[in-house]
Structure 1
Amino acid sequence: MVPKSSSRMFQLLQGHIQPAGLRSRKNRLVTKDGRCNIEFGSTEYSNHYAYLVDFWTTFVEIRWRFVLLLFVTAFTGSWFIFSLLWYWIAKNNGDLTGQNHTDGHVKCIENVHGLTTAFLYSLETQTTIGYGGRALTGHCAGTVALIMIQSIIGVFINCFMCGVILAKISLPKRRGKTVTFSDTAVICLKKGSLCLLIRVANLRKTLLIGSQIYGKLLRTTTSPDGETNILDQVDIDFMVDAGKDNLFFVCPLTLYHVINRSSPFYGLSADSLPLQDFELVVFLDGMAESTSSACQVRTSYIPQEIQWGYSFLPIISRTNTGKYRVDFSNFSKSIQVTTPHCVQCFESDIDQKNHNSHTGENHNNQEKRGVDNLGFQVIDMHDSVDITKM
């Protein structure tokens, strides 16, 4: 009989079972740094033409290595193409080395004797270097028209490439790199309700104006007709104590989502949470105060990154000089706290306590549910009202 561990290892090698970590990475649609892990397959060839039509967005979104390659290719290619034209003019006029020159021969371009000197002249013309060794004589009308065309094209290339580089440097997503989310989410009690908490911080002192926070729960569902919906999206409302829109994002904020009957997390418990297959994507939209450019920051959490029964450590304190200090070393750290095992048992416990307060019955022998507090004692009094003592 083959041991279970050996059988599982064999299945892993055969590819029938994937490790939990690999499944998590494969099923994640949005990475922790906000990049979308999606691939477009079977795209028609005609659709690629749309990328060329919208060439500006295409050039701004391509990687830096391709931008640098485009930069070098654009300038070098234009210099070489115009050098061929200058070489052709000089050859037709008989200005090259080895051609027979008659008495009184007037050159179109001084000191252009071959392809190399023609390339140098093209480079000097387009970059306006002007060493003085090579120049037009003004006796050929074609050279005047060609130098005008090359100068205009050179200006267009300079403007386009400078615009692409500046646009890539000032992309709003670069501002999003200075907004960070906690590595994990936690579920604990907050203001008498079971809530899912996430922490977010702005690493710059400049604010994000009009910040809005919301979430999407991505999961695979099956319709009553038996149709499987992959990446079905459900809205998740997040809020802070001051609201959920137009946040004063000057210090780290703790977002929370109340897990009630209308929440998609209502049926979860501490035991069933790690076994779920979903992805919680959190979005933060805002406008950078310094550049007035809109940006969106996003991250995602899978069930293995949600801690049930934990709460974030405090990170904001006040110094002796009156300033507020943020300790980012505890930004993603959490501590275990007393938390209900599930939402239903927590609500049942609250209903039972409310019932006891109205009926006055003694439930000392009843099985404990919800939050078990060992320091809670119930004592019998001769009065008609039950008194609880901590």
Structure 2
Amino acid sequence: MKKTRGKIPKTRKINREGSYNVVRIGASNNHWRDPYHVLLTLCWYKTLGLISFGYILANALFALAYLAGGNGIENARPGNFLDVFFFSVQTMASIGYGAMYPKTLYANILVTIESLLGLMGLAMATGLMFARFSLPTARVLFSHVAIITPYNGIPTLMLRVANERQNWILEAQVRVSLVRTQITKEGDLMRRFYDVHLLRSHSPLFALTWTIMHPIDESSPLYGVSTEEMVEDEMEVIVTFTGLDETVSQTIHARHSYIPKQILWNMRFVDILSKTRDGKRSIDYSRFHDVMPIDN
């Protein structure tokens, strides 16, 4: 493999966490410019906490607005915040117990506004919950490390993937790319992508495990590359997985990456496939990431 011209400037800090951890200088870091996307990507407890906080805050603001209009709620104690707060909750949720009701024009106008906003808020919260539940997710497990080991006499890059669900993934496809930092003849620093040829990149049915293999021959972008070069050129192996989930009939995606310290040489994966006494195939996921020296 032809080596790059020049070296990476020493002032450039190597990113040890892969390509996904990027500092965007000059771009807006305000994620709330796209609130729908943020609410879809937040973890569940943060989403539920945010919705709960917004619900309580909205009712508290309407309660203060009711208090500002004087004694406009029948059967509510004058100046009592809790009474008007719970009246707001009944109004926004369209409960309407009937114990408290508006008796002034000001209170009726607030009830009208709050009912409209409550219906809109309920519709948006319902849509958000449905969108989160209906998002197709992949339970595809990638090995924590990749290895370079001889296979049929040829050094081969290997990594493992597994389907953690008890179903089939149809038309599964894996694509592997090598990313490295290089300097052009003009001295420009660039991140270049190289396609990595696989012995098998497609599986019509994927249910158990799959060992992804790339022979490092003369046509490979990894040919003649050492560990030191991997670190110096900030190399990274990026793996993308796509397939059709048989249960929901939707396309699922998964991705993973390996930086130089996660690529081990002269090791092999521990065998995890076996059969039970009654002849059924079994997978030992507890040893899915384990490797051992090839001498053993």
- Partner amino acid, structure 1, of 2:90: E
* Secondary structure, counterpart of 2:170 in structure 1: strand
* Secondary structure, counterpart of 1:276 in structure 2: helix
CA–CA separation in structure 2 for the residues paired with 1:77 and 1:305: 47
* Secondary structure, counterpart of 1:219 in structure 2: strand
Instruction: Answer whether contact 1:214 1:282 (CA < 8 A) is retained.
Output: yes
CA–CA separation in structure 2 for the residues paired with 1:84 and 1:319: 67
Listed one character per residue, the Cα deviations across residues 93-136 of structure 1 (whole Å, up to 9, x for unaligned) are: xxx3xxxxxxxxxxx64213225233332222223444442124
Q: Does 1:326 align with 2:280?
A: no
Equivalent residue, structure 1, for 2:90:
124
* Secondary structure, counterpart of 2:99 in structure 1: coil
- Partner amino acid, structure 2, of 1:226: G
- Partner amino acid, structure 1, of 2:206: F
* Structure (1/2) with the larger helix percentage: 1
- Partner amino acid, structure 1, of 2:252: C
Q: 1:309 aligns with which of 255, 266, 286?
A: 266
Listed one character per residue, the Cα deviations across residues 67-90 of structure 1 (whole Å, up to 9, x for unaligned) are: 34431332123223333443344x
Equivalent residue, structure 2, for 1:295:
252
* Secondary structure, counterpart of 2:26 in structure 1: coil
Equivalent residue, structure 1, for 2:52:
72
CA–CA separation in structure 2 for the residues paired with 1:184 and 1:274: 18
CA–CA separation in structure 1 for the residues paired with 2:204 and 2:261: 29
* Secondary structure, counterpart of 1:217 in structure 2: strand
After superposition, residues 225-236 of structure 1 pair within 5 angstroms as 225-229=186-190, 231-236=191-196
Equivalent residue, structure 2, for 1:352:
none
1:64 Cα shift? 4.8
1:167 Cα shift? 3.5
1:156 Cα shift? 1.7
Listed one character per residue, the Cα deviations across residues 40-92 of structure 1 (whole Å, up to 9, x for unaligned) are: 12225xx85x953x431132224556534431332123223333443344x3x
After superposition, residues 102-251 of structure 1 pair within 5 angstroms as 109-112=73-76, 113-116=78-81, 117-136=83-102, 143-172=107-136, 175-176=137-138, 178-229=139-190, 231-240=191-200, 244-251=201-208
Q: 1:273 aligns with which of 200, 211, 227?
A: 227
TM-score normalized with structure 2 length: 0.80
- Partner amino acid, structure 1, of 2:230: Q
Instruction: Answer whether contact 2:199 2:215 (CA < 8 A) is retained.
Output: no
CA–CA separation in structure 1 for the residues paired with 2:272 and 2:68: 72
1:141 Cα shift? 5.4
CA–CA separation in structure 1 for the residues paired with 2:145 and 2:54: 46
1:245 Cα shift? 2.5
Rg larger for: 1
- Partner amino acid, structure 2, of 1:205: Q
TM-score normalized with structure 1 length: 0.62
Q: Does 1:40 align with 2:29?
A: no
Listed one character per residue, the Cα deviations across residues 348-373 of structure 1 (whole Å, up to 9, x for unaligned) are: xxxxxxxxxxxxxxxxxxxxxxxxxx
Moved more, 193-202 or 64-73: 64-73
- What is the identity percentage for the equivalent residue pairs of Structure 1 and Structure 2? 28
1:254 Cα shift? 0.7
CA–CA separation in structure 1 for the residues paired with 2:171 and 2:63: 54
* Secondary structure, counterpart of 1:209 in structure 2: strand
- Partner amino acid, structure 2, of 1:305: Q
Equivalent residue, structure 1, for 2:4:
none
After superposition, residues 18-97 of structure 1 pair within 5 angstroms as 26-30=15-19, 36-43=20-27, 48=30, 51-52=32-33, 54-64=34-44, 66-89=46-69, 91=70, 96=71
Cα distance, 1:189–1:77 mapped onto 2, change above 3 Å: same
Equivalent residue, structure 2, for 1:262:
219
How many pairs were matched up? 280
Instruction: Answer whether contact 1:186 1:196 (CA < 8 A) is retained.
Output: yes
Cα distance, 1:275–1:127 mapped onto 2, change above 3 Å: same
Listed one character per residue, the Cα deviations across residues 319-342 of structure 1 (whole Å, up to 9, x for unaligned) are: 33221111234323334337xxxx
Instruction: Answer whether contact 2:18 2:259 (CA < 8 A) is retained.
Output: no
Query: 1 or 2 for the larger relative contact order (CA 8 Å, sep ≥6)?
Result: 2
1:249 Cα shift? 1.2
CA–CA separation in structure 2 for the residues paired with 1:66 and 1:251: 33
- Partner amino acid, structure 2, of 1:276: M
* Structure (1/2) with the larger strand percentage: 2
CA–CA separation in structure 2 for the residues paired with 1:85 and 1:256: 66
CA–CA separation in structure 2 for the residues paired with 1:121 and 1:159: 21
1:154 Cα shift? 0.9
